[in-house]
Amino acid sequence: MPNMEKIANNLNYNENLAFDNKLINKVILHCENTDSSKLKQIIQPLHPADLADLLTFLDKNQRTYILKVLDQEQYTNVLAELDDTIIDETFEESEDAKIVQSISEMETDDAINLIETLEPDVQKNILDQVNPSIREIFQESLNYPVDSAGRRMQKEFVSMPSYWTVGQAIDHLREEADLPDDFYELFVVDPSNRPLGSVSVSRVLKSKRNVKLNDILDGSPKFVDATMDQEEVALFFEQYSLVSAGVVDIHNRLIGRITADDIVWVLQEEAEEDILRLGGVSESEMNQSIGRSTKRRFIWLFLNLLTAILASYVISLFDASIEKMVALAVLMPIVASMGGNAGTQTLTLTVRSLAIKELVKNNRKKVFLKEITISILNGFIFAILTGVAAYLWFEDLSLSIIVGAAMIINILSAGLFGFLIPYIFDKIKIDPALASSVFVTTITDVFGFLSFLGLASIYLF
């Protein structure tokens, strides 16, 4: 019965950690009272990932105290799950020896993920203390481009010659002590360590002992280049429904593997990054100082201010027309906001298509024409709706026609630039998610005001 209670408690912690203020308050209390025994009772049942999440709710001193009371194994497991935004701060307050031991014991991909987030001087200090043979392995991964397969791969994998039998393979797996904690396939290589293919563990176990590995190889092995971007690797996994894949260098030699859990992390990271960049913020702001967060947002807001001034300048060109007819000032926001929303829709779809490599040469024209057609149809539909509304409101047929015409022009321009701007940014190697929204919003505002006020000045006065 006590065991069942412990299991129930663990489930309760895991399900409710993010929302359990009572648990968080208890942890904070024991940290402030430096009551390590009671603190250990609370955090001991937690999964390392849950404990790492818990640390994000605490301040610097509380995090430091918790990490000090953890034993080496717990510390290593939590460090591997720690949020990138608080890693630097954690390393500042931790003992180098403890960090070095933890990094040395981690799987390569976890260790590299940790190391690459550090400031250069801290990174060098830690690597200098790592065992030279392990440091060489880390350095090899760090030499690959950021966000590449080489950075995400695990150096721990299982490879065997093609002439081995299933029986030899199974005996090797049982006797070899230095194997990865988890693996899903055996890589079959030639004497130069070039992959010939792979065999799933399940297929090995289902085959007779005298069958050679070469006879049960996967007929269409999937390997990724170490320089491949992590987003492309994620798409590769999705396309072929992979659980793991080998990683090869420029000489086509097997140097590592990437597993599905790495890809889940990549997909989450890329999705969060795109969403945050569209808003001009970053994930790290959750744990940054007020001053640093203010500085980061200032740049984005200042750019928005400049674009808003441009839109206001366009309005000022027609101040005389606005003074003559107040209705123009009333209807301006409708035209501009509709264009902005239409532009955001096209922009979002285009950025997504670029991110998942769906917008390629073969379908680029088709996608572009589709967005333009949708913009034209919506333009005419909302031109009729706003035109009728304007006529019922102000009883001016000419004004209602101009509002409708401006709506068509603005929604069409929104579709046009909502597609072209992110596409152009992608071509010149600028992240479309980072810069597109400001420019699309500005252009739709300018076109909205220019078309509406311009047509009104020409035909009403």
| Domain 159-259 coded CATH 1.10.472.10 | no
Give the pLDDT of the chain (461 residues) as one tens digit per residue: 334 334 334 434 444 444 467 888 889 998 988 888 889 888 888 889 889 888 888 888 888 899 888 888 889 999 888 887 778 777 776 777 888 899 988 988 889 988 888 888 888 888 899 999 999 999 999 999 988 999 999 999 999 999 999 999 999 999 988 888 888 899 999 999 999 999 999 999 999 999 999 999 886 778 999 999 998 898 899 888 888 999 999 999 999 999 988 888 887 777 776 666 666 555 555 555 666 667 767 777 777 778 778 878 888 888 877 776 888 888 888 888 888 888 888 988 888 788 777 787 778 888 899 999 999 999 999 999 999 999 999 888 999 999 999 999 999 999 999 999 989 988 888 877 766 677 888 888 888 888 888 888 888 76
What CATH class has 289-459? mainly alpha
223-225, strands of its sheet edge to edge = 223-225, 244-248, 254-259
What CATH class has 2-147? mainly alpha
Domain ranges (residues) in the chain: 2-147, 159-259, 289-459
Q: pTM of the full predicted structure?
A: 0.65
- For residue range 332-391, list pLDDT tens digits in order: 888 888 888 888 889 888 887 887 777 877 788 888 999 999 999 999 999 999 999 999
Rounded to an integer, what distance in angstroms lies between the CA atom of residue 445 and that of residue 410?
A: 8
- For residue range 418-436, list pLDDT tens digits in order: 999 989 988 888 877 766 6
Rounded to an integer, what distance in angstroms lies between the CA atom of residue 76 and that of residue 103?
A: 7
Q: Tokens for 356?
A: 């998942």
Q: Tokens for 349?
A: 């779809």
- For residue range 122-160, list pLDDT tens digits in order: 888 888 999 999 999 999 999 999 889 999 999 999 999
Count Cα atoms within 13 angstroms, Cβ side, for 407: 25
Q: Residue 449: CB partners within 8 Å, gap ≥ 6? A: 311, 314, 315, 318, 332, 335, 336
Of residues 357, 340, 150, the one with CA closest to residue 270: 357
